[in-house]
Amino acid sequence: MEKLERDVVVIGAGAAGLSAAYELKKAGLSVAVLEARDRVGGRLWTDDIDGAMLEIGGQWVSPDQDVLLGMLDELGLETYSRYREGDSIYVNADGRATRFTGEDFPLAESTQQEMDKLVEALDELSKEVDPADPWRHPRAKELDRISLAGWLESLSEDKEARDNVAMFIAGAMLTKPAHAFSVLQAAQMAASAGSFRHLVDADFILDKRVIGGLQQVPLRLSARLDGDVHLNQPVRSLRSGESVPSGMGVVVTSDDVEVSARHAIVAMPPNLISRISFDPPLPRRQQQMHQHLSLGLVIKVHAVYDRPFWREQGLSGTAFGPYQIVHESYDNTNYGDERGTLVGFVSDETADQMFRLPAEQRREQILDSLAAYYGDEARHPEVYYESDWAAEEWTRGAYAASFDLGGLSRYGADLRSSVGSIHFACSDFAGAGFQHVDGALRMGKAAATAIVAQHSEQPRMQGAGISS
Ligand SMILES: Cc1cc2nc3c(=O)[nH]c(=O)nc-3n(C[C@H](O)[C@H](O)[C@H](O)COP(=O)(O)OP(=O)(O)OC[C@H]3O[C@@H](n4cnc5c(N)ncnc54)[C@H](O)[C@@H]3O)c2cc1C
């Protein structure tokens, strides 16, 4: 067992943990980052699959994500725009595909009016909610006990209008059925992206990608940490309080490394925190709160073709169908690539259904759904891959975690509270940038800032300082 002494031990080398470690090093503190996987990045993972570069996890950057944009600049990373020329496609409940331009789906006029009304209502509500503390909304408790589905039903009898509006937050963001989370949680999701209209506007929310892949962010951060990141080290226990050596706040043990440190940052999704054995146990509030936060479920489907054939038909690749297996799909062609890539998403209960099928049948049904948007050619990709994060031991869902009904108003105020020397940071706890890489970076920086403030009067430990 390797034994280390550091100012701070960080558990998890995702965007949150690495940005925390990077800020701490820049401030002159020593760190050790313990990561369970054999790679850094957590839910950011860019890999070569059968000769195609795929973004298996997070990939898009939107203009409001200023912390992420600042980090891309600092790390010397460049972005490019998602392909968006041409018509989009909408497939309705009867399976009929219609071309359209702009944001408004080609719906019957009465349905369009109802959809406008619902978008307006959700937009107004999200303006009243501060994403950092939605529990302070004067009607927080009331809004937190109504599901998004129930709230939409109370406002409109038009099913297609409701299903479309729900799709933008349920299927596309929280990746849970609209009856499984509250309208307060939905409003926070929208507010965290600036407004609900931003979520409806694919050109905003899915604006840019990073050349070479978004995993470059954790990879470059890790390179700047100069040997302080320890891979294949799932943390098993965290001791704090009287049993730790004097002058230290925690002793954190993984399979091969034991770190004694003044502070710990737990930079992992809340559903995994209870896998660490805490001695003494975390306070009951945290133990309870973490049980009310759960990850959604989505299959990110990648299909790579010899060329972006849909562009020849004047299609942008952007496609929506609330009743389709793949509810949304986009042109995801890599920068400078001659081949064409489509990325589609299969969410929540539809993902459950798909996972009940044998792999070949699942692939066939998912490609049939892509064909409903782009025609027969979509059935024959050169490379086909399904990102399956729910089967990943160190994540267990996608994209991120949100509260069950009533959880946000009940526990939210304690979401980011530290417990003695133990701090928490991950995208699932963010206000602005909630569930996104931007939020992960914000949480990492916030934990680092809090620790640096406490340390300003204390002597440094060995190994402090950034390497470049
Ligand atoms: C398919 C998919 C698509 C997405 N698309 C986008 C997008 O387009 N844009 C966007 O901004 N966001 C997107 N996201 C969300 C974004 O990727 C995440 O919000 C963000 O990367 C989370 O970073 P994090 O550091 O908070 O958590 P994580 O990335 O989950 O990092 C936690 C780390 O902790 C490690 N860990 C867990 N348990 C232990 C343990 N016991 N000991 C040691 N280490 C441990 C994990 O291995 C992991 O490396 C997407 C996510 C997914 C899955």
> Which value does ipTM take for this structure?
0.99
Q: Residue 209 has what pLDDT? A: 97
- The best mutation among 22, 43, 68 to test binding of ligand 1, ranked by most ligand atoms within 8 Å of the C-beta, falls on 43
Residue 441 Cα to ligand 1 midpoint, Å, equals 11
In ligand 1, the atom with minimum distance to the C-alpha of 426 is 26
What is the residue with the minimal CA distance to atom 7 of ligand 1? 58
Residue 139 scores a pLDDT above 80: yes
What is the residue with the minimal CA distance to atom 3 of ligand 1? 58
Q: Residue 96 has what pLDDT? A: 95
Helices and strands (H and E) in the chain: how many:
16, 21
pLDDT digits (tens, 9 = 90+) for 336-358: 999 999 999 999 999 999 999 99
Q: Is 273 exposed, middle or buried, given 0-12, 13-18 or 19+ CB atoms closer than 10 A?
A: buried
Q: What is the DSSP string of 352-375?
A: HHHHTS-HHHHHHHHHHHHHHHH-
Residue 82 Cα to ligand 1 midpoint, Å, equals 22
Residue 89 Cα to ligand 1 midpoint, Å, equals 31
- In the block, tokens 């990102």 appear at 387
Contact by Cβ (8 Å): 257, 1: yes
What is the residue with the minimal CA distance to atom 33 of ligand 1? 12
Residue 433 Cα to ligand 1 midpoint, Å, equals 13
Residue 204 Cα to ligand 1 midpoint, Å, equals 22
Mean pLDDT of 205-223: 96
In ligand 1, the atom with minimum distance to the C-alpha of 12 is 34
Residue 333 Cα to ligand 1 midpoint, Å, equals 23
Q: What is the DSSP string of 64-93?
A: T-HHHHHHHHHTT--EEEPP--SEEEEE-T
- The best mutation among 437, 438, 441, 442 to test binding of ligand 1, ranked by most ligand atoms within 8 Å of the C-beta, falls on 437
DSSP structure class, residue 174 = I
pLDDT digits (tens, 9 = 90+) for 38-73: 999 999 999 999 999 999 999 999 999 999 999 999
Which amino acid does the sequence have at 142? Answer: E
Contact by Cβ (8 Å): 185, 174: yes
pLDDT digits (tens, 9 = 90+) for 103-134: 899 999 999 999 999 999 999 999 999 999 99
- The best mutation among 67, 221, 268, 293 to test binding of ligand 1, ranked by most ligand atoms within 8 Å of the C-beta, falls on 268
Domains of the chain, earliest start first? 2-44+215-282+419-455 (3.50.50.60), 45-63+81-103+201-209+297-398 (3.90.660.10)
- The best mutation among 427, 429, 438, 442 to test binding of ligand 1, ranked by most ligand atoms within 8 Å of the C-beta, falls on 427
Residue 226: pLDDT band with limits 50, 70, 90: confident
Q: Residue 465 has what pLDDT? A: 52
Mean pLDDT of 402-431: 97
Residue 112 Cα to ligand 1 midpoint, Å, equals 36
Q: How far apart are CA 15 and CA 466, in angstroms?
A: 17
Q: Residue 202 has what pLDDT? A: 79
Q: Residue 240 has what pLDDT? A: 96
Mean pLDDT of 230-256: 95
Strands 257-266 and 79-81, by their bridges, are unpaired
Q: How far apart are CA 353 and CA 350, in angstroms?
A: 5
b/e code 299-333 from CB counts within 10 Å (16+ = b)? bbbbbbbeebbbbeeebbbbbbbbebbbbbbbbbb
Q: Residue 467 has what pLDDT? A: 44
Mean pLDDT of 238-243: 92
Mean pLDDT of 382-388: 98
Mean pLDDT of 230-250: 94
Residue 454 scores a pLDDT above 50: yes
Contact by Cβ (8 Å): 59, 205: no
Residue 43 Cα to ligand 1 midpoint, Å, equals 3
Residue 314 Cα to ligand 1 midpoint, Å, equals 35
Q: Residue 463 has what pLDDT? A: 53
In ligand 1, the atom with minimum distance to the C-alpha of 275 is 41
Contact by Cβ (8 Å): 236, 254: yes
Residue 322 scores a pLDDT above 50: yes
Residue 109 Cα to ligand 1 midpoint, Å, equals 41
Q: How far apart are CA 249 and CA 243, in angstroms?
A: 10
Q: Residue 206 has what pLDDT? A: 87
As a three-state string, the secondary structure of 422-455 is EEECCHHHCCCCCCCHHHHHHHHHHHHHHHHHHH
Residue 253 scores a pLDDT above 70: yes
Give the Cβ contact number of residue 169 at 10 Å.
25
Q: Minimal CA–CA distance to 41: which of 295, 234, 231, 215?
A: 215
Residue 468: pLDDT band with limits 50, 70, 90: very low
Contact by Cβ (8 Å): 327, 319: no
- The best mutation among 399, 416, 422, 423 to test binding of ligand 1, ranked by most ligand atoms within 8 Å of the C-beta, falls on 399
Residue 45 Cα to ligand 1 midpoint, Å, equals 9
Residue 428 Cα to ligand 1 midpoint, Å, equals 9
Residue 81 scores a pLDDT above 50: yes
In ligand 1, the atom with minimum distance to the C-alpha of 235 is 42
Q: Residue 127 has what pLDDT? A: 95
In ligand 1, the atom with minimum distance to the C-alpha of 276 is 41
Pocket lining for ligand 1, CB < 6 angstroms: 11-17, 34-37, 42-44, 57-60, 234-235, 267-269, 272, 275-276, 300, 387, 389, 394-395, 398-400, 426-427, 435-438, 440
Residue 389 Cα to ligand 1 midpoint, Å, equals 10
